Amino acid sequence: MTNHQSAEQLLELATKAGAEAAEVLESQSLSRPVFFEANRLKQLETAQAEGIALRLWRD
C-alpha cells in the first residue's frame, strides 16, 4: 500500500464517519549528517522519519 492509497483510505473513512471535511497531512524527512575530523571521516549517520495525520471537521 502506498502513502497515496493510505491517504485516500483515511479520507474515505472520514466521510463514512460523517465528517463534513477532512484533510490528510503527510510528512517525510531524511537526514544524513557527515562529520569529518582532520580531513578523515569521523561519523556518518542516517535518520528517517515519516508521519501521517488526519484532521476532521464535523458540525
Convert the pLDDT of each residue in 18-57 to its tens digit. Answer: 999 999 999 999 999 999 999 999 999 999 999 999 999 9
Across residues 5-14, what is the average pLDDT? 89
pLDDT for res 1: 60
Evaluate whether 32 touches 18 at the Cβ level (below 8 Å).
no
Looking at residue 48, what is its pLDDT? 97
State the Cα–Cα distance between residues 46 and 33, nearest whole angstrom.
7
Task: Name the one residue in this structure whose C-alpha cell is 508521519.
Answer: 51
Place of cell 578523515: 40
Provide the pLDDT for residue 45. 97
Which residue range(s) make up the domain with 27? 3-57
pLDDT attached to residue 5: 77
Q: Cβ distance 24 to 52 under 8 Å?
A: yes
Cα 33 from Cα 7, distance rounded (Å): 30
Report the distance separating Cα 40 and Cα 42, nearest Å. Answer: 6
Number of domains in the chain: 1
